[in-house]
Amino acid sequence: MTDANTYTVSDRFEDRGDIARIRFTPKSGSKLPPFTAGAHIDIYLPDVDMWRQYSLCSDPAETGFYEIGVLKDPNSRGGSTAVHRLAVEGAEFKLDGPRNHFPLDETAARTVLLGGGIGVTPMIAMAKRLHALGKDFTLHYCTRSDAVTAFKDALDSSEFADKVVYHFDDQDADQRLDLARDLPAPASDTHLYVCGPQGFMDWVISTAESDGHARANVHREYFSADVDLSGDSFEVECAESGITVTIGPKDTIAKALAKEGIKIEVKCEEGVCGTCITDVLSGEIDHRDQFLTEEEREDGDQLCACCSRGKGKLVLDI
């Protein structure tokens, strides 16, 4: 690892709900690359040979460290458990980024942030930025119970504590998130941001859009997704390299092309990070990702090679 992209774990705090709050500083001692609210970093985990993405929850004005929160998920594919095992103080990691696919519209008159569980991490950075700008906002934070609500002590002692509303599943119905009550009325200058488990996000997004909120004003970031990778075989032609391959029912475009020496960088493998976006010259795409917007899908000129498929034959610009 080169010092330019090597970071050291400078601090780690075990928070409620089996969540580790981890801070990274550049090994080289160089200036921390700046980031904007909603950004994430990519962390390489050599023990399991995978990249994983984690939203930054630190203040965008912070120049000394990046902070993330990582849930130790027993149902994960190994990423979160590897981070919990390896990210001890003094450990070194290769990081990429920061990158922002979930940017905050700082011009909005009103902003409502809705975080489910560990999905609150980008919302915390957004809340810090909105507070610094003097904006009108509310952060709704949903968890199973008070006992597993990470970041609660920090949020309760923050300067915007009065903007934070907690919703616990084990409390009475009046205390839980009620979208009929808690979503604002639709307006062109009102923006919603949602991140959390897929079921939680689908519920919030569908309700908001059915209530009349413009799709462009309902921002979302999936930190994981249940992806169906199965399907009929189809062909992929690589226009630049001249290679044509058949993608089998249990294969992916990225994996099949890698066997032919054509490498498409893949990180999340779930269609949520956008790393493997590939240009499509022709063919009908069967989108399986959670990254592209509906408008981008309708354009039909790009796909996530880690999970999306084709119907018939696809010609890629690689």
Using DSSP's 3-state secondary structure scheme, residue 235 falls into strand
CA distance 216 to 293: 9
**Chain segment 224-271, per-residue pLDDT in tens:** 666 777 888 999 999 998 999 999 888 999 988 989 889 898 877 778
pLDDT at position 246 is 93
pLDDT at position 225 is 62
**Structural domain tally of the chain?**
3
In the chain, which stretches have pLDDT less than 70? 1-3, 77, 224-226
58: its two tokens: 């630190």
pLDDT at position 134 is 98
Q: 159 lies in a domain?
A: yes
pLDDT at position 138 is 98
Q: What is the CATH number of the domain that holds 276?
A: 3.10.20.30
Q: 73 lies in a domain?
A: yes
pTM (2 decimals)?
Answer: 0.83
Structural domain of 63: 3-99
CB-based contact 123:139 (threshold 8 Å):
yes
Strand 309-316 with 277-286, pairing: antiparallel
Amino acid making up residue 260: E
Q: 91 lies in a domain?
A: yes
> Are 77 and 144 part of one and the same domain?
no
3-state secondary structure 81-144: HHHHHHCCCCCEEEEEEEECCCCCCCCCCEEEEEEEHHHHHHHHHHHHHHHHHCCEEEEEEEEC
Residues in CB range of 223: below 8 A, 6 or more apart:
53, 55, 118, 119, 195, 196, 272
Show which of 65, 99, 133 is a domain's final residue: 99
CB-based contact 274:305 (threshold 8 Å):
no
Using DSSP's 3-state secondary structure scheme, residue 56 falls into coil
pLDDT at position 269 is 79
**Chain segment 205-230, per-residue pLDDT in tens:** 999 999 999 999 999 998 766 677 78
Using DSSP's 3-state secondary structure scheme, residue 36 falls into coil
44 strand-pairing partners: 51
pLDDT at position 1 is 47
